[in-house]
Structures are given as structure tokens and as C-alpha cells.
Structure 1
Amino acid sequence: MLVSILVYLCCGAVAGVLAGLLGVGGGIVIVPMLVSVFPTQGIPPEYVQQLALGTSLASIMITSVSSARAHNKRGAVHWDIFRRMTPGILLGTFFGGLVASHMPTLFLKVFFICFLAFVAVQMLSSYRPPATREMPGALGTAGAGGVIGLISSFVGIGGGTLSVPFMSYCNVPLHHAVGTSAALGFPIAVAGTLSYIIGGWQQPDLPAGCFGFVHLLALVGIAVASFCTAPLGAKLSHALPTSKLKKAFAVFLIIVDIRMIVALL
């Protein structure tokens, strides 16, 4: 039990730094770690991935608030973009989570592995959008939010790995894209958590301490640590060369991806 708590705290600490640094919710780190830890806690294999996804999204509710507050103090959150993307995000994440709750674990693991590879390639890319490109209108922005929310619910993330590139592609300054993405992590997390709780409600053989597909002990450990470290990540994002950090993180993701592929095989 003590070892598990320490693992959850370490996982949350890393997730918090990443949330503030890159505008991601930390799910990219949280999900693989929980997938490794949960089988040792006696959790049935058929529920491991769903519990990891639901718990990750629940923890992002805390991480995103802490990270968004830190970025907002630096004027890096575009609340107009937040308001336009949120309706689509709520719908996409909620319905995506309900669907994912009843999908086979193998499919979700393969989807997550493919998503990690996509994110790593994306972070290693040096593509720059045309200088004339701007954010789409209200309908287009809401639609983009829906797609981001849908994919986020399948991989248990706060959406930063999609929303930051989307906003950067529309020529929102990188630090502002990171800050706005941190704020967008909250509606993604709320809708996703609710859907995983409903999807996992009264599932047979779930261990004690689970609220639907949310593992409460893991949630507390991750949330406490991530809330404390997210402001540090936000501070670093405004002080360090983000491009080099993104490339280093991409290499880390490739390593995680390879480990997950080996474990799957």
C-alpha cells in the first residue's frame, strides 16, 4: 500500500510539472504508470485501461486548475478561445468516454500506443503555419473542441497534446496556447470523469475504493502532488526554451511507447 501511494505521488508530481510546462494534463505520463501499477493491486485485467483513463481524467481536474491559475497570472490564457471551444469539448469528451468505457481493453491500449507515437512525431516536427492563418469562427472552433475532447476521452489526457498544436497552427503564440490549453483541461476532465464514472458504475469485480472507473486512492495521491508542482511547470515554461524541452519529452514518449508495445506483445 505504501509503495503504491509513493508511486501515485511521484506520478502526480511529474504530471503537474508537465501540465504547467507544456499545457498537457499529464495523462500521457499518468496512464502508462497506472497501467503498470494497477495489475499489482489485484485489479482485473479487463478493467485496467479504463480505470487508468478515468483516474487520469479525474486527476486532471485538479492539475488543470492549478496550472491555469499560474498561467492566467502571466496573462497567458485566452478566455475567448476557451469559451468557444468548451461546448464542443464537453460534448465530445462525455460521449467519447461513455463509448470508451465499454470498449475492449486491447483496443484502448493499441489506440493509446498509436496516439503516443503521433504525439512524439508531432513534438519532433519543426513545422510552422502560414503567418496569415487565424483561429476559425465560433462553429469551427467548437467543432475542433469536439474532436479534441473525443480523442482525449479515449486516451485519458487533458487535451494539451492536441489543443496546443491546433492553436499554434492558428498562430496563437506558444506560451498563450499552452496557458489556454491548461484551462481547457478542466472541462475535458469534468466531462470525461463523469462519463467514466457512469460507464463503470456497478461493473462486477471492481475492487473496493473505485467510484465507477475512477480509483480514489490513486486519484488523491496524483491530485495532491500535481496541484503542488503545476505552478513550477508554468514558471519553467516562461523561462526555459520550450522547443528543446518538447524534443526531450518526445524522446521520453518514444521510450514509453516502446515499453508499452513490448508489454502488449
Structure 2
Amino acid sequence: MQNLLLDVFSYLSLGAVVGFLSGLLGVGGGGILVPILASIFSYRFIGGTNYLQVALATSLACSIPTTAMSTYTHHKKGAVQWRIVKFMGVGVIIGSGVGVMIATRIQGVYLAAFFCLFMLFAAIKLFSNWQPKPKTTPISINTTVLTGAVIGCVSALISVGGAFFTVLYLTYNNVELKKAIGTSSAIGFLAVLFSTVGYALSNSTSAVKMPAYSMGYVYLPAVVLVVFASLLLVPVGTNMAHKLDDKKLKKIFGVLCILLSLKMLVSMLP
């Protein structure tokens, strides 16, 4: 009973933090969700030696409602370029499947290292405010599909990066920033949806079976509680965003994600 109450409190608290930060900074919560969920699952021995894969799958599932809501909101404002979504989405579906197959067949320490490297790259981008110079040639359909495949694969492997890469790619191809952000929401929704489906249909190869109320690598009790709390706190963070310096907060958030990622990597080293 004590463990159950502790789990409920942990997931609700985590969801509240992620929801607040999402509203405050306009960022996804994967950078925080994955390391903390990995710590919880490791301590509770959920997924056995594959607890990092369970953390990735559960984090992706938690992102489905928020990315769906974001996509709908941007669509209502005419900010989603559905023609781009159509072509990039084909690549996302393929890439998500490939990413899940890779993630469920390699050791967690390699996933953790890849996660850390990506978060470091994202933090450098955040601090430098670097943007690629737009090109002059029209956007290529083949390149768009290939980019979608990379985004889907990366999202499945580390539960973050979909919006990050999509916005960079679209602004590089002369898509207006607001439309790039709106379109990235739709791409992100497809990435987390199909990656989650892939993990849900996968069977754990760990020596310890997944607990009750799980679908493949997705631990549903954590999903329900994290999503519930995050949706409640998103409006609070949004209101707070108008009172604080979001640029400084984003940098603090980037540093925090780096530290959590390094902690996760160190804990997985032999």
C-alpha cells in the first residue's frame, strides 16, 4: 500500500512539473520525463533490465494528448501545412517503426548515451540561438520524406527531438516560423503516436515481465496519472509565462535536462 501511494504521488508530481513547464516555456516534457521515469522504473524494477525502454515508451504515450491538442489549436489558426505533413508523415511512420526496433534490441546504456548527446546539442542550440540560413531552392518531396523518417526514428529512440528537428528543417526551407511551429506539432503528434503504438505492440524481452495494466513497454498507470496532472498545470504555466523572462527560464530548463540526462547515463554505467 505504501509503495502504491508513493508511486501515485511520484507520477502526479512529475506530471504537474511537466505540465507547468510545458505551459511556461512551450516545450515538450521528454527531457525531464525520460530520466525521472527511468529512475522510478529502475527503483521499482518495472521492466527489469529494460526499464529505460519502458521510460521512453511511457514518455511518448504521455505526449499523445498534448501534441494532439497543440495540433488542433494550430490547425484552427491555419498554421499547419498539411501538404508537408502528408509527405513527412510517410517518413515519420517508417522511421518510428525502425526506431522502436532498434530501441528494443540494444542495451539501455547506448540509448542513454544518445539521449545525453542530443540534449547537449539542444542546449548548445538554445544558448547560441543558432538558426540555419534559409535556402533558395524549393522544398524537395524526397528530402521531406527522408527527414520525416529521421525525425520518427529519433523520437522513438529518445522520446524528444521531433519538434526541434522539424522546425529547423522547415525554417531552412523558407516556411514561416509560426507555420513551421504549427506543422511541427502535427509531425510531432504522428511521431509520438506511431512510436507509442510500436512500443505497445512490442513484447518485453526482459527477464522480469511487465506489471499489470501494461501494453508492451507502455506502463499505463504512469501515463494516466502523468497526463492528468500535466493537463491541470498547463494553464498555470501559461499564465506564469506572461510574468517571467522565458529566455532565461529556457536556458535553466536546458541545463536541468542536461544534468538529469547525465545522471541517467551515470546510473546505467557498470
TM-score by length of 1: 0.85
Give 1:154 deviation, angstroms: 0.6
Query: How many matched pairs?
Result: 265
Taking the aligned partners of 2:100 and 2:73, their CA distance within structure 1 comes to 28
Counterpart for residue 118 of structure 1: 121
Taking the aligned partners of 1:31 and 1:46, their CA distance within structure 2 comes to 15
Taking the aligned partners of 1:182 and 1:16, their CA distance within structure 2 comes to 16
Counterpart for residue 9 of structure 2: 6
- Higher Rg: 2
Do residues 217 (structure 1) and 226 (structure 2) align?
Answer: no
Q: 2:139 aligns with which of 136, 141, 146?
A: 136
What is the root-mean-square deviation in Å for CA atoms of aligned residues?
3.0
Counterpart for residue 261 of structure 2: 257
Give 1:42 deviation, angstroms: 2.8
SS of alignment partner, residue 200 of structure 1? coil
Taking the aligned partners of 1:134 and 1:149, their CA distance within structure 2 comes to 25
Q: How does 1:27-176 map to 2 (within 5 A)?
A: 27-133=30-136, 136-157=139-160, 159-176=162-179
Which residue identity does 1:223 align to in structure 2? V
Long gaps (5+) in structure 1: none
Which residue identity does 1:34 align to in structure 2? L
Indicate conservation of the 8 Å contact 2:132/2:168, yes or no.
no
Taking the aligned partners of 1:181 and 1:247, their CA distance within structure 2 comes to 21
TM-score by length of 2: 0.83
Taking the aligned partners of 2:77 and 2:114, their CA distance within structure 1 comes to 36
Counterpart for residue 188 of structure 1: 191
Give 1:52 deviation, angstroms: 0.3
Taking the aligned partners of 1:212 and 1:245, their CA distance within structure 2 comes to 36
Q: 1:226 aligns with which of 224, 230, 248?
A: 230
Taking the aligned partners of 1:51 and 1:252, their CA distance within structure 2 comes to 22
Q: Cα–Cα, structure 1 residues 149 and 131, in superposed 2: closer, same or farther, change >3 Å?
A: closer
Indicate conservation of the 8 Å contact 1:12/1:225, yes or no.
yes
Give 1:82 deviation, angstroms: 2.0
Long gaps (5+) in structure 2: none
- Overall identity of the aligned pairs, in %: 36
**Post-superposition CA distance 1:88-130 (Å, at most 9, x none):** 0111011211221121112112221222112111222222333
Q: Cα–Cα, structure 1 residues 78 and 227, in superposed 2: closer, same or farther, change >3 Å?
A: farther
Indicate conservation of the 8 Å contact 1:158/1:188, yes or no.
no
Q: Cα–Cα, structure 1 residues 158 and 117, in superposed 2: closer, same or farther, change >3 Å?
A: closer
Give 1:23 deviation, angstroms: 6.0
SS of alignment partner, residue 217 of structure 2? coil
Indicate conservation of the 8 Å contact 2:134/2:171, yes or no.
no
Give 1:261 deviation, angstroms: 4.0
Taking the aligned partners of 1:129 and 1:239, their CA distance within structure 2 comes to 30
Taking the aligned partners of 1:160 and 1:252, their CA distance within structure 2 comes to 19
Indicate conservation of the 8 Å contact 2:39/2:264, yes or no.
no
Taking the aligned partners of 1:4 and 1:135, their CA distance within structure 2 comes to 51
